[in-house]
Structure 1
């Protein structure tokens, strides 16, 4: 802080863009380190050096900040679709390390915050459904939207069931075994 002529500290100038950037960076670090559930908005604010109340002001809430952090981490380029082996491998590996993430949970499980669910569903459509729909349409596959949604739902179900332990064999399978099976299933959706 700088001093005014009367010797008192001048109020800090607010820089909303900088605060947003610091919150996204802090969120990326904490979510990667601790996961979504074990990270609090207070911790994010402390790491960013800003008032945690700004999370609600700038993003709408913790989930929306998480989605902003994911977008920042993944960049603005459209992602590859689920039929690309590298994309599927990256997703499986990421979810094995971090769990299915709140966007999957908020999108597929009933909740009382429709705004949060809409944001999560929009994120899933943008990052998973749309790239696959675009590919399937370009290949002339019938009902491309339905098939892209089915593939995304199957992936979400596998990830959630795997992390919950609901299916012991699925949970115990290594990625080297699971990945080709899942890829084969997704390939079969082409028709």
Structure 2
């Protein structure tokens, strides 16, 4: 069989041939970009176009890979929901981890839903369920075990207090709170939660 002739290199300025698509990589890039943007801007202020631009993927691929922006949001929440993110706020290690994470990344979609409901009912329900599963339920279970009633109300009250501190710290309006180091903040936060 005769050898194949070499293909000439494309001329300068000419368009390259079609690029091979990697569906798994595109899906992962969309998931990562959406997680970043939902954390930065919230669900309602993030558009499919924003997500596509950040991911370097055509925004129409959101519908192909996830079905809708709300379903992409739910996929982001599920991707984050490993057991390490569940937080009994009375566990010093987990409390410190949550404070450090919010200081580093800002309040994510699950934290934000406690104070700012989403316009999309599917996104609201998904974020609220994750907030309950990650923070409220461990507290509620702790209070129920110790007979501290009303367990559900106390769990939600402490969750609201923690989220309020985290959001206020991030906003920078309360200068002493924003400037406090975790070493200074954590004992005061523990005292507040008890």
Q: Same fold (TM over 0.5)?
A: yes
- 1:177 is aligned to 184
In structure 1, the partner of 2:152 is 145
Match of 1:53 among 24, 40, 60: 60
1:113 shift after superposition = 3.6
Separation in structure 2 between the aligned mates of residue 103 and residue 78 of structure 1, nearest angstrom: 11
Q: Which residue of 2 aligns with 1:124?
A: 131
Structure 1: distance between partners of 2:21 and 2:177? 53
Point out the structure with max Rg over C-alpha.
2
Aligned residues: 172
Partners of 2:126 and 2:182 lie apart in 1 by 29
Verify the 8 A CA contact 2:89 2:135 in the aligned structure 1: yes
Of 62, 69, 76, 2:76 maps to 69
Are 2:166 and 1:159 aligned? yes
> For the structure 1 residues 48 and 121, does the alpha-carbon distance in structure 2 shift closer, same or farther, using more than 3 Å as the test?
same
Task: Pick from 88, 97, 100 the counterpart of residue 93 of structure 1.
Answer: 100
**TM superposition shift of 1:81:** 1.2
What does 1:95-114 correspond to in 2, within 5 Å?
95-109=102-116, 112-114=119-121
Question: How far has the Cα of 1:167 moved from its partner?
Answer: 1.7
Q: Are the aligned partners of 1:82 and 1:132 in contact in 2 as well (CA < 8 Å)?
A: yes
C-alpha displacement of 1:179: 0.8
2: distance between equivalents of 1:90 and 1:137?
24
Indicate the residue corresponding to 1:136 in structure 2.
143
- What is residue 41 of structure 2 aligned with on the other side? 37
Query: How far does residue 27 in structure 1 lie from its aligned partner after superposition?
Result: 4.1
Separation in 1, partners of 2:85, 2:164? 23
SS in 2 for 1:136: helix
Q: CA deviation at 1:92?
A: 0.5
1:119 is displaced (CA, Å) by 2.5
Residue aligned with 2:86, SS:
coil
Question: Please, which moves more after superposition, 177-186 or 118-127?
Answer: 118-127
Contact 2:113 2:127 in 1 (8 A): yes
> Is the Cα contact below 8 Å between 2:39 and 2:109 reproduced in 1?
no
Gaps of 5+ in 1: 1-11
TM-score relative to the length of structure 2: 0.69
